[in-house]
Amino acid sequence: MSIRNKKVIIIGECDGVPSESIARCIEACDSEVVFQTTQLFV
């Protein structure tokens, strides 16, 4: 499955991979981030 030219929702994790890092990777694949947030799951 390719993520090129897709719209993406990102939920990052505070102690894991933050959404900003994931968003940079998604944008490098020519996709659009429509929502992103970093949460703390306990």
Q: Report the distance separating Cα 1 and Cα 22, nearest Å.
A: 17
Q: What is the mean pLDDT of residues 1-8?
A: 90
3-state helix, strand, coil in the chain (%, to 5): 25, 35, 40
Domain boundaries of the chain, sorted by first residue: 7-39
The pLDDT tens digits of the residues spanning 16-40 come to 999 999 999 999 999 999 999 999 9
Whole-model pTM? 0.80
The yes-or-no verdict on residue 1 having pLDDT over 90 is no
